[in-house]
Structure 1
Amino acid sequence: MTDGRVTRRALARRYLSAWIGFSAGGRFSQALATVVLLFAFGQSAVSTLVGTAGTWAVLVTLVVLAGLSLLGQRYRIEWHGVLPLSLLAFVGYCALSVLWSEYSWVALRGFVATVCFVGLGLYLALGRDLVQVIRAAGDAFRILLVVALGLEVLSGLVLDVPFPAFGIHGDIAYGGPIQGIGGTRNFMGFVAATALVTFVVEFLTRSVTRWRAIGSVAMAVIALMLVQSPITGLAMIALSVTALALWSLRHARPTTRPIVNTVLGVFVLVVAVLAFLVRGRLLAEIGAAGGSATRLALWSQIRQLIAQYPIQGWGWVGTWPREEVVPFAVLVDPAGVRYTSGLNAFVDAWLQIGLAGMLILLVAAGLAFARTWVTATTFPGVAYVWPAAILVLLAVTSTAESYLLHGAGLMVFTTVLVVAARRRSWRRLLPRVEHHG
């Protein structure tokens, strides 16, 4: 009996070692990165198809596979000074908030989901180089956009019936808005905008042929036009300004870059102040006045709840729970429909983890943007434009949605944080500790 157990253990170790070695291979890692991105950005559709339990099963499976892949690559991964302290502080504070929340089990579930998506983001940043991440994202977004537009055509033009399970209203025949695989037009717009950035950078890095790039960009632009999302429209304006600024800085002389950066900073500040002063008229012009009224009403309710726990917050949940738990169950619109998020990442974070947690998130985002911007404007590789553009997109979108705090937004944010730290972390200058066995 003892010999049989020893033999089975030896076989199990051999199979596990073989699987770890296989999962560390380039083809498997690249395929896994594509599937991770497909799942994260298509989570709403996955949840509709397989339910909550099935979605959790897929998420946990992907995390396990990503962990085994990283384990197999452990000797080639550069860990020194890579994991940002701001990210560790944010995740650690979210974990602490579970202890004082009044809904511990719901908070624990939300924290586990957060750790899973942060882990997937770490896998993308550590298990793949930046060009490989962009290629995986390009493949994933092509699939997502084809499926989304295909469902919209099927619903609005072929069958002429809505698909309420997917949130699709079938309005493509009238020029939109479309919801695709996102469940809402705003998230579909976020997917299309992220896809457009990815396709352009993918072409600039010569990762795809010209015709594939043209077809991909055309598909993303069509989706952006059909979503009719004012929030996405503002994000695209910000991305256009960002692209022009990055092009100018990358072609400027090193001695003139500080001057150009200063001028750009002043310009952005002035535009932001003017936009705030005339926000009512601006929102009305872009068709976002109705959505802004809804958001202002929600934020007014949230401020009253924040006042009860202003520093530590109510407790981290990430995505708002469907259970009847306070304070989320009491946040309803005038029609009595419950909100599913705070419709602003930083207001939402303040509610969940208080002022302290929100400031940690702001510091993490600020450091990441500073590092990605410097790298994008000074490093020769054009691939480093992608993290900076993605952060701008996340920042603008986060003023009207809470994507930064969960799911695909949190995963991509983690990836960008780690990629930025890999090039600009001050801890890389610290001496290495040699281990002698």
Structure 2
Amino acid sequence: MTSSLPDPIAAAQRFFGSAEFSSILTTVIFGTLFSSHALIRMLGNPGFSAMVATLVVAALLSAISQHREVSWSERIPLTVVVFVLWCALSVAWTSKTGATLSALNFQIGVALLGLYIGAFRDVIQMVRALGNALRVLLGVSLGLEILSGLLIDMPIVFLGIEGHLAQGGPIQGIFGSRNDLAFVAVIALITFGIEWRTRSVPPGLAWGSIVLATALLLFSGSAIQIGVAFCVAVTLLAMMAIRRRPLAERRNWQIVFFTGAALAAFLAWMFRSPIVTQLRATKELETRLTLWQSVMDTARQHPLEGWGWVGAWPNGVQPYFAINFDDGTRHQSALGAFFDLYLQVGLVGLALFVVLLVVALVRSLLVATSRQSVVYLWPSLVLVALSITSLAESTILTGAGWLLLVIAASAASQNMSWRNRLRPTLADLSP
């Protein structure tokens, strides 16, 4: 007598390999990484690490169940792999092996989650999942700010909410700082705008989400992210103008665009002090300049290899404790991704990361200005936001910022991979 019960392994494969599971898992991944500050405050670092590890296991089971549907050699950006390998090599020379191994585990875990999303979800599916997650997180942030600033008129200390909504801000939401809230709001604006243009959500929901993200961006009072939003808007207008040109003319316009972008980036860096002053962020600039000088002085002691990868600065670990002690502060980063990279992984790691970022950015911009669907604008605009933010924050190196970078790099790699173009050539040469 044969059993009518399904094979447990086949049933598990169908469950983990289903489109519904991938969709839910993607939304949960975005929600978890973007709400990391609140989760760590509630669960502690061990609890949050356990959540990320569980998501990695779930993603691996889902990937294994769908392994026949994806060619991993085409989906994994080699620039991401090389950068992570260099960070891993820093274990050999770091003086704090435990901190480096812990940071590497988190970095690799988040990278695996990003590669999973990039490999198994289309861009529109990524946008929908991220939009759903950010609507909830921004809504919760606004609700708690209203509770703290208007209803009970007292801070919610364990979440870092100071309750300044009645004074017009600045507010932090559940993200820990006004700059982090503003960064999430900018990413949300990009995502909600793509949702509206692709009609993937009802127009009322799309516009309500855009209003929510805009309000939180303004109430955050972050001059840095308001400047980022302006640069993203200018980039969007430029790309839309190129997309309207005839196909035969687009290559020339793309060259003009990249040349202008490079020149604008150079000028913005050269005149960063007047720009920040005009944005009324002089105090923030002074804080960053002081910190950057300390970071540069420390980094020059190990210029090529750095002090060892640690991601977010651990408490009580050198040289980060000494930098904070000299400045009388408690920074958890160098407030600038490139300064953090120079300090932690040296000039070699900094160069590898710049190659990763530039290759992903160029690929995504070429795809966005060549493909007909507006959904391809999302990776390029996210990368523009990450790139500009990295000049004044280290968000791109850890957590949600690192996740978005890996996803965008993976999406760009799929559409403009040199390995895809090489395969037909190799096939023609084979006997």
TM more than 0.5: yes
Aligned to 2:60: 67
Judge conservation of contact 1:333–1:339 (CA < 8 Å) in 2: no
The residue type paired with residue 36 of structure 1 is I
- Which stretches in structure 1 are left out of the alignment for 5+ residues? 1-10
Find 1:385's aligned residue among 360, 377, 383.
377
Letter in 2 for 1:46: L
Deviation of 1:329 (Å): 1.0
Q: 1:350 aligns with which of 333, 342, 350?
A: 342
| Cα distance in 2 for residues equivalent to 1:331 and 1:393 | 28
1:4-83 to 2 correspondence within 5 Å?
Answer: 14-83=7-76
Work out whether residues 75 and 115 of structure 2, in 8 Å CA contact, stay in contact via their aligned partners in 1. Answer: no
CA contact (8 A) 2:299 2:342 kept: yes
8 Å Cα contact 2:27-2:129 kept in structure 1: yes
Cα 1:269–1:121 change in 2 (3 A) is: closer
CA separation in 1, counterparts of 2:33 and 2:177?
15
Q: Following superposition of structure 1 onto structure 2, how do residues 33-432 of structure 1 map, counting pairs within 5 Å?
A: 33-322=26-315, 324-332=316-324, 336-431=328-423
Cα distance, 1:276 vs. partner?
4.4
Q: Are the aligned partners of 2:305 and 2:348 in contact in 1 as well (CA < 8 Å)?
A: yes
Deviates more, 1:183-192 or 1:273-282: 273-282
Q: Is the Cα–Cα contact under 8 Å of residues 298 and 333 in structure 1 kept in the other structure?
A: no
Instruction: Tell me how far 1:79 sits from its aligned partner.
Output: 2.4
Letter in 2 for 1:74: H
CA–CA separation in structure 2 for the residues paired with 1:277 and 1:98: 35
- TM-score norm. by structure 1 comes to 0.93
Partner of 1:4: none
- Pairwise CA distance, 1:388: 0.2
Moved more, 386-395 or 79-88: 79-88
Q: CA deviation at 1:210?
A: 0.8
Aligned residues: 422
Q: Secondary structure at the match of 1:168?
A: coil
More displaced, 175-184 or 273-282? 273-282
Percent identical pairs in the alignment equals 37
Cα deviation 1:291-341 (Å, max 9, x = unaligned): 11111111111111111111011111112112x221111111666222110
- Asked if the contact 1:170/1:178 (under 8 Å) is kept, the reply is yes
Please list the CA deviations of residues 145-201 of structure 1 after superposition, one character each: whole Å capped at 9, or x if unmatched.
110101100100011001122111100111111100110000100111000100010
| Distance in structure 2 (CA, Å) of the matches to 1:77 and 1:204 | 28
Moved over 6 A (4+): none
Question: Unaligned regions of 5+ residues in structure 2, if any?
Answer: none
TM-score (norm 2): 0.94
